[in-house]
């Protein structure tokens, strides 16, 4: 929830300051910063050291990292006022996560 809320707030800041109208690049840079930051968090969720000395990496948590990325995208959509897109996308993401988890168990 905090990832989505934070993404929405970061998008709303330049919109509320009326920085988007004179220069469309402001929102582009904001989105790039959010996406880069979430990518960094996702990378940290995916790569875990294999051994105590840190040599090698154990790759796991791809679904969790993708869910955090999707949560950020939902916050960006909501922050831009695209609540219908955010709502439909949240429903689709929920179905994907639930259905594929069920399918994986078969």
Averaged pLDDT of the chain = 87
Digit-coded pLDDT (tens) for 55-78? 666 778 888 899 999 999 999 999
Burial 37-74 (b: 16+ CB within 10 A, else e): ebeeebeebbeeeeeeeeeeeeeebeeebbbbbbbbbb
| Full-model pTM | 0.82
Residue-level pLDDT at 103? 81
Segments making up each domain of the chain, as ranges: 2-105
Residue-level pLDDT at 45? 85
Residue-level pLDDT at 77? 96
List the structure tokens of 34.
Answer: 């959010």
């Amino acid at each position: 929830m905090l990832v989505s809320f934070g993404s929405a707030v970061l998008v709303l800041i330049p919109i509320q300051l009326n920085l988007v109208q004179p220069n469309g690049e402001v929102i582009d840079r904001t989105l790039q910063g959010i996406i880069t930051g979430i990518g960094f968090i996702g990378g940290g969720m995916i790569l875990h050291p294999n051994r105590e000395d840190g040599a090698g990496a154990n790759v796991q948590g791809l679904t969790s990292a993708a869910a955090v990325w999707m949560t950020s995208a939902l916050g960006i959509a909501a922050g831009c006022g695209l609540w219908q897109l955010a709502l439909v996308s949240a429903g689709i993401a929920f179905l994907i996560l639930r259905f594929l988890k069920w399918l994986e168990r078969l």
